[in-house]
Amino acid sequence: MTLKKITGFNLGLVVILTFAAFVDIWWLPGTRFWLTTVTTLTTFSFAFLHAGQNLGWRKATLLMVVVFVVSISFESIGVLTGAIYGPYHYTDRLGPKFLGLVPYIIPVAWFMMMYASLAIAEHLIPNHHAALAERRLLVSAVGAMIMTAWDLALDPLMVAGGHWVWEVEGAYFGIPLKNFWGWWLTSFVSLQVFQMLAALIKRDAPAEDPAPYRWVVFSYLIIGGSTVVINFSIGLPGPGMVGLFAMLPWGLMGLFAKRD
């Protein structure tokens, strides 16, 4: 089986697990926690395989390492100090934690959507009319916006599920607005550092038949869409509606974007 087929199989599993989550919520409550972990790991696997074929394995690994280091560092500082996102802490529902602060599954989740956000931003920002440094800034800024759009639906859902707790009552469905600035900043720094370091790496030989770009956009829409649907299903129509209007334009623009 080729890498392209394995990547497509992973994407198919993401779709199946997403529908399983809907079945769980509507008819079989009680398995949702392990489904969250398995879906996250499967989507991560898809993202890394897709990145390896389209960025090259060195750059895919670099992106993973940068996202892991930046996200777990920022989140650990956030939990310890309340800086960056606002005062919050994780419960034990997402499994073991790094230094007792941040579950190990969290940087995995950051990567699975960060790669999709980067891929969409790369296709939306023209290759011309800007110096290389300016384009990197634009890709980082737009990619961070695409990433943060997901959290508008995700954060209220995860709070409702008892995965993390805000220690103050925020303005956005109980969540501090500062949190979304923190998400954007974490994503921006991750993408900017990655692009700067990636410029120093010699590109791998391109894959002969890489997984199509649109597959990664589908992954963004599948994960984002499932977050929106689950919000509506558990009585959170506000965050669901916001997430829908925040994510759908990026996904549609990403699907129809043409590279220069």
Two tokens at 71? 């996200």
Q: In the predicted model, what is the mean pLDDT of residues 233-256?
A: 95
Residue 126 — very low, low, confident or very high, per pLDDT cuts 50/70/90? confident
Between residues 258 and 86, the one the model is more confident about:
86
Q: What is the pTM of this model?
A: 0.93
Rounded to the nearest integer, the mean pLDDT of the chain is: 91
Two tokens at 33? 């926690």
- Please report, as a single letter, which amino acid is at residue 255: L
Res. 31: pLDDT tops 60 = no
Res. 130: pLDDT tops 70 = no
Nearest residue to 21 via CA among 39, 48, 45? 39
pLDDT at 138: 95
The enclosing H or E element of 243 equals: helix 237-256
Rounded to whole angstroms, the Cα distance separating 16 from 104 reads 24
Q: What is the DSSP string of 122-158?
A: HHHS-SSSS-HHHHHHHHHHHHHHHHHHHHHHHHHHH
pLDDT at 129: 58
Ordered by start, the domain boundaries in the chain are: 3-256
Percentage of the residues of the chain whose pLDDT score is greater than 70: 93
Q: In the predicted model, what is the mean pLDDT of residues 83-96?
A: 94
Q: Which residue has the tokens 């395989």?
A: 49
Rounded to whole angstroms, the Cα distance separating 32 from 258 reads 38
The enclosing H or E element of 2 equals: none
Residue 202 — very low, low, confident or very high, per pLDDT cuts 50/70/90? confident
**Contact, 248 vs 150, CB < 8 A?**
no
Residue 208 — very low, low, confident or very high, per pLDDT cuts 50/70/90? confident
Percentage of the residues of the chain whose pLDDT score is greater than 90: 78
Residue 20 — very low, low, confident or very high, per pLDDT cuts 50/70/90? confident
pLDDT at 47: 97
pLDDT at 240: 96
The enclosing H or E element of 43 equals: helix 32-55
Res. 169: pLDDT tops 90 = yes
Nearest residue to 147 via CA among 112, 174, 194? 112
Two tokens at 98? 């790094």
Main-chain phi, psi angles of 97, to 5 degrees: -120, 145
Res. 28: pLDDT tops 90 = no
pLDDT at 29: 57
